[in-house]
Amino acid sequence: MANARDAAALEGLAAEIRAGTGGGDVLTVAGDVTREEDRARLVAEARAWRGTIDVLVNNAGRGYYGAAQTIALGELEALFALNVYAPLRLVQLAHEDLVRSHGTVVMMSSIAGVAAAPKMGAYAATKFALEALSISMRAELAAEGVRVLVVRPGPVDTAFRENSIATAGTEAGVRPKGARVQTAEEVARLVVRAVDGSRDVLETSLFVRVGSFGARVVPNVFRVIARRMAAAKEARDAGVRSA
């Protein structure tokens, strides 16, 4: 079962899945997970389709590029509504099904969930919040047989950056130097294996593992790197503003 706001894109995805699986059954439900009525309908249709919910993948999200002093509060509220409130609420709505199936919640976080880069503070704030909720949720749901898997990708070849918010004069879409860009299919395969392998955390690349380790274990070094990154990003953004 798949959900997105774009019904046409969903049908294209369903056709691709059917072609790749020899006509496998696929349910698509168009809707906006920031709307309560759409969330309730999504969970209800999933339950009706298979009788229960085994795995809930919270993958919807949006990026935000901009210095902290330029963040628009209304946009930040909307970002939290999509990146944090929606996945939390979907888990609440699917809770009884997940308990019955001893299922798994997959929270799509990011390297930004443990390491906040310059001009990524708004996005990182949502992913830090998602990580905190996941830590608590994992402990709370363990006794009910429900697992919580946090996935931390790095750069992935999707339209994520093109669809992100960027404040005036800020360049979006700059990928970290030296970071290999993964395909969505590669990340999906890793997630499936992690679900099957009872993992708690999946960091999808060496870039993510190194960045995560540095931010958590040697924060002083990471702060020096972050200041240099900030200077480099400001120089690039100055070029954008003068262009």
Which one of the listed residues 64, 65, 85, 123 is annotated catalytic?
A: 123
- Cα 54 to Cα 101: distance, rounded to the nearest angstrom: 6
Q: Are 10 and 2 in contact (CB under 8 A)?
A: yes
Q: Give me the residue label for tokens 């209304």.
A: 74
Does residue 123 have an active-site annotation?
A: yes
Residue environment code for 51-75, b if the CB has 16+ CB neighbours within 10 A, otherwise e: eebebbbbbbbebbbbbeeebeeee
Within its chain, how far is the Cα of 144 from the centroid? 25
Structure tokens, 208: 């993510």
Which residues does the annotation mark as catalytic? 123
